[in-house]
Structure 1
Amino acid sequence: MSADPRDYPLTLPALPRDGSVDPSEGDYLGPTNAGEPGELGNPHGPSVVSPGIHGRQDVRPIRPGEVSSDAAEQDSAEKAHTAEWQPGTVPPETEEPDPEATEA
């Protein structure tokens, strides 16, 4: 387990806000799991991952396709792509249910 920076107060001079430590509603392409309680939201842990942009390739392939002018839609699409390649990055309560699994 890594040190959790949320356990250490900032000292002056204050640094700019870090979206993985102190997420704010509306952060565009903010890290997955940022602000979640416990180890899931540990900014230095393996489950807080910044989705970056669709053209950045490091641990997952480049995601070609539509880029939305709606920031919330784009943010959702980027996080869904990140979750596909790094499954531990999406909290279980926010994952979309599999529509084929509900059909009987």
Structure 2
Amino acid sequence: MTVVATLAVIWIVVFGILVLPAWPAGRWLAKNGKGPISLLINIVSCAMLAWLVVLIGLFVLIVWAQDLFPHVKDDPLGFGKVFATVLLFVPSFLAFLVGYLRARETVEAQ
């Protein structure tokens, strides 16, 4: 149960950090078009932005945080990288998706 609580806390913290930058990104995506094709493209764009956050996070963990997270760099099976990817992708994708949906409501209201 403690592991699930720790995972939830990490996701909440990462989500909270990324919500603020997700709003301008969502506004930028919401201005690009309307319709089902545009919606699908914008959701994929949210996933790509979340993947960019994951890549930056992995870069930081591998290059700069050697003493803090040694298992990410030295794991021969790559589980540390996969685990860090899941830890970063899920909340960042949700943050960008919430930012996009909020901006889409704002753009439609205007």
TM-score under structure 1 length normalisation: 0.29
- Structure number with greater Rg is 2
> Which protein, 1 or 2, shows the higher relative CO under an 8 Å CA cutoff with sep ≥ 6?
2
More helix by share: 2
TM-score under structure 2 length normalisation: 0.28
